[in-house]
Amino acid sequence: MDRIVRIGIIGCGGIANGKHMPALHTLPNVQLVAFCDLIEERAQKAAAEYGAPDAKVYTNYHDLLQDDSIEVVHVCTPNRSHAEISIAAMEAGKHVMCEKPMAKTAADARRMVETAKRTGKKLTIGYQHRHKAESRYVKSVIDRGDLGDIYFAKAFAIRRRGTPNWGVFLNEYEQGGGPLIDIGTHSLDLTLYLMNNYKPRMVVGTTYKKLPNPDCGNPWGPWDPAQHTVEDSAFGFIEMENGATIILESSWCLNTCEPVQEGSTMLCGTKAGAQIKNGVTINKDEFGRLVDIKPELNAGGVAFYDGVNETPPITEARRWIDAIINDKDPVVLPEQACVVSEILEAIYTSAKTGAPVYFNK
């Protein structure tokens, strides 16, 4: 019989229902055997929809972690509790998939890395944009050396209107910030991953709260301005140790002409450039002319693997479980995700102080 990986879900809210549980449920070598949420009814609903016949329901994650038959835990809670729960799970002998961002603070992210090293447990972070067909294609092009030395990049995470007004998205205490830590984190992770560059030297950042309650256009409707304690836009200028420059743009609400630019990146190298935005474009010179190449990667950005169509969340789940079963490194390494958190925190710090933030001083 093929090995079955028994998984516990901690946090049965939006991201668990929208990504983790449906993706894991498609995999034949996975059983979802435990569900934990502060609201017991949510955990019961998740167990009924996705759980194994003997699935258990908890309201205290410490109780779930006492089950020695659980090999893997997915942490799908607000950012403030990511580190606390992930560290407890690794110390209880579980491998951990933690939803992005890695943690609310850089210090917490570093504690998570240290715990993974000390316990020998695998730790990965839910940066699913790495698993898109577009991202995998561009990564292969870059790894082959086609772009040369990548010295300039832009990471886009822009919504003209798209402020989430549910849960704790607008709560700085729970989340640590707004669009920068919510969607900007995806584009920054993707850009650093494609560049294979995790050594920042200096960061300058700005944040804004200029459109706290737009009169129209937000797809999810209005919200209580008193509950909106985070920025609506944030921008960062990042200089890497090797001299490369990254500009990060993130916003839930910005008066821009383009409606959505999420999970997007542009990379400029000495041999060619690449852009992931509504598909992939490779730009280069060929036979004395500038040309743009737009490869066909299956309409809609659906990954194609061994003749089977997959969404990025399913690809992410499959690759993660494969790393568990075959004792391989996960696609997203905790050390990489930690650098993302350090840069995000530096942007927020620079925005508050009005001064650059230097690393390794």
Q: Where are the alpha helices (DSSP H) in the chain?
A: 14-15, 21-25, 40-50, 61-65, 82-91, 106-119, 133-143, 172-175, 179, 185-195, 312-325, 334-353
* Chain-centre distance for alpha carbon 100: 4
The pTM for the full model equals 0.94
* 16-50 confidence digits (pLDDT tens): 999 999 999 999 999 999 999 999 999 999 999 99
What are the φ and ψ backbone dihedral angles of 208, each rounded to 5 degrees?
A: -140, 150
Provide mean pLDDT across the span 240-257.
96
More reliable by pLDDT, 302 or 127: 127
pLDDT at residue 361, as a whole number: 64
pLDDT at residue 60, as a whole number: 98
The residue among 227, 191, 264, 237 whose CA lies nearest residue 346 is 237
pLDDT at residue 360, as a whole number: 85
User: How far is the CA of 10 from the CAs of 187, 189, 327, in angstroms?
Assistant: 25, 24, 23
Amino acid letter, residue 316: E
pLDDT at residue 216, as a whole number: 85
Domains of the chain: 5-129+322-332 (3.40.50.720), 130-312+340-358 (3.30.360.10)
Q: Could you tell me the pLDDT band of residue 260, with boundaries at 50, 70 and 90?
A: confident
The answer, yes or no, to whether residue 304 has pLDDT greater than 60, is no
Provide mean pLDDT across the span 259-283.
94
**Alpha carbon distance 246, 348 (integer Å):** 16
The answer, yes or no, to whether residue 237 has pLDDT greater than 60, is yes
**Alpha carbon distance 158, 34 (integer Å):** 36
pLDDT at residue 300, as a whole number: 45
